[in-house]
Amino acid sequence: EAQVTQNPRYLITVTGKKLTVTCSQNMNHEYMSWYRQDPGLGLRQIYYSMNVEVTDKGDVPEGYKVSRKEKRNFPLILESPSPNQTSLYFCASSPSGQSAPFGYTFGSGTRLTVV
Amino acid sequence: GNSVTQMEGPVTLSEEAFLTINCTYTATGYPSLFWYVQYPGEGLQLLLKATKADDKGSNKGFEATYRKETTSFHLEKGSVQVSDSAVYFCALRSSTGGFKTIFGAGTRLFVKA
């Protein structure tokens, strides 16, 4: 089944404790992206990657890191989480970033709480 | 910069009522337009898309037409069902500059039996 898999689904952590949210897709998509969803703000892009070893900042990159060492994986790293990073996070992928008309396939989301 | 504005919710309808959720956009170039749906506890799913002016996207009884003259992409369905209760997001994918996708704030739809 074609899918984007995120782990974990739920995570409660303490301020300052480094964490990684994993994202993997099995569709051979070149383009991958991370979003956060907050009430009243819709989805905001954190980082995106147009291909292996090519990443760029989205609209809200502060406090986050990403890497794209393999085509299928695009982990999101919070080096020192803070309470304002409490949110619902989504990973998404699509075919080639060189062509706009493709929609995303989304993961099921990771609900992160930082206390 | 590019932006998407959609009507605020929640929208509450009775089963078999007609649905319209308004969406307007501002963009440079020739963006593609999308509607996504999010059911409780799930990720977003692509509902329909349109890639150029006057294109009509359709899926599962939902339709939306890419109107360049009014910069709109309104979502419609002739007869809603309880199972259509969800949050609907209008989105724009740029044709330039990293092909970023921008989402509207979402409109929650409740359908009563």
> Average pLDDT for residues A61-84, to the nearest whole number?
97
CB atoms within 10 A of CB A11: 16
Q: Could you give the count of Cα atoms lying within 13 Å of A115 in the half-sphere of its Cβ?
A: 3
pLDDT over 90, % of chain B: 78
User: How far apart are the C-alpha atoms of A53 and A67, rounded to whole Å?
Assistant: 7
Q: Cβ–Cβ of B100/A58 closer than 8 Å?
A: yes
Interface test with chain B among A1, A9, A37, A47, by most B beta carbons within 10 Å: A37
Which positions in chain B touch A101 (Cβ < 8 Å)? 32, 49, 51, 93
**pLDDT digit string (tens) for A86-108?**
999 999 999 875 555 788 999 99
pLDDT value at residue A88: 96
pLDDT-based confidence at A11, cuts 50/70/90? very high
Which positions in chain B touch A31 (Cβ < 8 Å)? 99
pLDDT-based confidence at B96, cuts 50/70/90? confident
Shortest CA gap A80–chain B (Å): 26
- Higher per-residue confidence, A106 vs A40: A106
Q: Cβ–Cβ of A42/B106 closer than 8 Å?
A: yes
Shortest CA gap B30–chain A (Å): 9
Q: Cβ–Cβ of A42/B46 closer than 8 Å?
A: no
pLDDT value at residue B30: 83
> Average pLDDT for residues B31-37, to the nearest whole number?
95
- Higher per-residue confidence, A78 vs A40: A78
Q: Cβ–Cβ of B101/A41 closer than 8 Å?
A: no
**pLDDT digit string (tens) for B10-33?**
999 999 999 999 999 999 888 899
pLDDT value at residue B98: 67
Average pLDDT score over chain B: 93
Reduced 3-state DSSP string for chain A: CCCEEEECCEEEECCCCCEEEEEEECCCCCEEEEEEEECCCEEEEEEEEEECCEEEECCCCCCCEECCCCCCECCEEECCCCHHHCEEEEEEEECCCCCCCCCCEECCCEEEEEC
